[in-house]
A and B are shown apart, each in its own frame.
Chain A
Amino acid sequence: MSARIPVVASLPEYRVAVAGLPMRAQAATGRAGAIVVVDGAGAWWDAAAEAVADGARAVLVAEPDRVPPVGVDPLAAESDAPVLVHRSRLRHDLVARVVDARDGAMPRVIVAECRAYAADLPSLVRDAVGWIRVLSGGPPEVVAAGGAVLLRPAGTGAPIASLLATPTAAGGSVLRVRALGEVTTELEIDDPLGRRGVSTSTTGGRMVAPALHESGPRAALRRAIDVLAAGESPHDLADLRHDARVASAIFS
Chain B
Amino acid sequence: MVWGVGVIGAGPGVSALHLPTLDRVADRFRVAHVADAGSGRAVELAARSGVPASSGTSALLADPAVEVVAICSPPAEHARHVRESITAGVRGILCEKPLATTADDARTIVEACREAGVPIVVATNHFYDPAWSRAKRHLVSLRAEIRAISATVALPPNGRFHAAVTELEPAGAPARGRPDLADPEVAADVVRQLVLGLAVHDLPAVRDLAPRLDGVDFAVPVPPIGYSIGFRASGIPVLLTAVMLPDGPDPIWRITIDTSTDRLDVEFPPAFVHTGSAEVRVRGGDLTTTVYRRDAEDGYLREWRALAELLEGSATMEYHDVLDDALFAVGLADAAASSVRAGAGA
Contacts and interface: CB of A to CB of B under 8 A. Distances in A.
Interface stretch (B5-13, B232-240, B271-279, B297-305): B232-240
Contact of A203 (B218, B220, B223, B248): B248
Nearest to A167: B147
Nearest to B156: A203
Contacts of B147: 166-168
Interface in B35-75: none
Interface string A131-168: 00000000000011111111010000001101010111
Contacts, number: 146
Given A171-B261, A202-B249, A180 B241 contact: yes
Interface of A: 108-109, 111, 113, 115, 143-150, 152, 159-160, 162, 164, 166-172, 174, 176, 178, 180-184, 190, 192-193, 201-203, 205-206
Contacts of A180: 152, 154, 241, 243, 252
B228 interface: yes
23 contacts: A109-B241, A113-B239, A115-B258, A146-B215, A146-B230, A147-B239, A148-B239, A152-B345, A160-B220, A160-B228, A160-B345, A164-B239, A166-B237, A166-B258, A168-B261, A181-B245, A182-B245, A183-B248, A183-B249, A184-B252, A203-B249, A205-B249, A206-B249
A170 B239 contact: no
A178 B241 CA distance: 11
Contact of A146 (B150, B217, B248): B217
Contacts of A176: 256
Nearest to A108: B243
B162 interface: no
B283 A190 contact: yes
Contacts of B231: 146-147
B345 A168 contact: no
A144 B230 contact: yes
Interface in B197-223: 215, 217-218, 220, 222-223
Given A180-B154, A184-B154, A168 B260 contact: yes
Contact of A174 (B252, B261, B263): B263
Nearest to B231: A147
Given A144-B344, A171-B285, A178-B152, 11 more contacts: A108-B226, A109-B241, A143-B218, A147-B236, A148-B217, A150-B218, A160-B345, A166-B258, A168-B285, A176-B256, A184-B249
A113 B237 CA distance: 12
B248 A184 contact: yes
Nearest to B222: A109
A150 B156 CA distance: 24
Chain B interface bracket (under 10, 10 to 19, 20 to 34, 35 or more): 35 or more
Contact of A182 (B228, B241, B248, B287): B248
B334 interface: no
A113 B220 CA distance: 18
A183 to B, nearest CB: 8
A96 to B, nearest CB: 22
A96 B249 CA distance: 22
A162 B241 contact: yes
Nearest to A199: B249
B323 to A, nearest CB: 25
A66 B249 CA distance: 39
A145 B217 CA distance: 6
A162 B226 contact: no
B345 A144 contact: yes
B263 A181 contact: no
B250 interface: yes
B249 A113 contact: no
Contacts of A205: 249
B245 A108 contact: yes
Contact of B241 (A111, A115, A172, A184): A111
B262 interface: yes
A60 to B, nearest CB: 31
A226 B344 CA distance: 45
A115 B257 CA distance: 11
B249 A171 contact: no
A147 B286 CA distance: 26
Contacts of A160: 220, 222, 228, 345
A67 B150 CA distance: 29
A149 B230 contact: yes
Contacts of A147: 148, 217, 230-232, 236-239
Interface in B128-158: 147-148, 150, 152, 154, 156
A148 B238 contact: yes
A146 B238 CA distance: 10
A144 B217 CA distance: 7
A139 B245 CA distance: 25
A178 to B, nearest CB: 6
A141 to B, nearest CB: 11
